[in-house]
Copies of this chain bind each other. A is one copy, B any other.
Amino acid sequence: MTRENLTQSIEDYLKVIYELTLAEERATTNEIAERMGVAPASVTGMLKRLSANEPPLLKYEKHRGVALTAAGRQVALEIIRHHRLLELYLHERLGYSWDEVHEEADRLEHVISEALEERIAQELGNPLQDPHGDPIPTRELSLPVHHWAQLSDLCAGQKAIVQQVANENPDLLRYLSSIGLVLQARLEVLEVSEFDGNLHLLIGDRRLVLGPAVTHQIFVEVL
């Protein structure tokens, strides 16, 4: 719809800004630059262009960061829908593991037509989660909201089922698979280390310890 004339680069900026503004109200130039692997000065230039676009895709005020406009959010969600549908398709139909899907989907997301998006969605039965448990925006671009707990918030004795791993790092994902921490895995918190926030977990019959850098990014359904 709103997505003609947009370059891959623009789509990437919007996607990154969308992700950054989930946590904070506005995204800063330096944050964006770091995520995109680009110099801050390049980001400033792009922010100006996108906020001067008709319709504006960003609300930008010098020195105070940016937020998406409705039009910008629309585009970002469209790309995220492409990305997550592709990830799931690669996983379900072409034998990709959850650590391999991200990189491939990152390139494909910009070039598939709406028609292909739709056929993939149909083929997969209009799924709601990608292989990492991330929610897939619907055709109307609404996002199902989950009320899952951060694994890092659990207390000793609680049991839970893994629902989402919000990190695309292939090495981490491979490691998690190797210890049995995959979607729908059942786990129990044995102990919470007071000072470093480490969690001692039982997964299957394996005991292991995970630090907060990791447990912050894992979401679970508490039983």
Interface, chain A (partner B; CB < 8 A): 90, 93-96, 100, 103-104, 107-108, 110-113, 115-116, 119-120, 123
Q: Which 3 A-B pairs have the closest CB atoms?
A: A107-B111, A94-B119, A111-B111
| Interface of A, helix, strand, loop or mixed by DSSP | helix
Q: Is the CB of A104 within 8 A of B113?
A: yes
A95 — nearest CB in chain B belongs to which residue?
B119
Distance of A124 from chain B, by nearest CB (Å): 11
Roughly how many angstroms separate A90 CA and B94 CA in the complex, as a whole number? 13
User: For residue A112, which residues in chain B have a CB less than 8 angstroms away from its CB?
Assistant: 104, 107-108
User: For residue A123, which residues in chain B have a CB less than 8 angstroms away from its CB?
Assistant: 93-94
User: For residue A108, which residues in chain B have a CB less than 8 angstroms away from its CB?
Assistant: 108, 111-112
User: For residue A115, which residues in chain B have a CB less than 8 angstroms away from its CB?
Assistant: 100, 104
Roughly how many angstroms separate A107 CA and B119 CA in the complex, as a whole number? 17
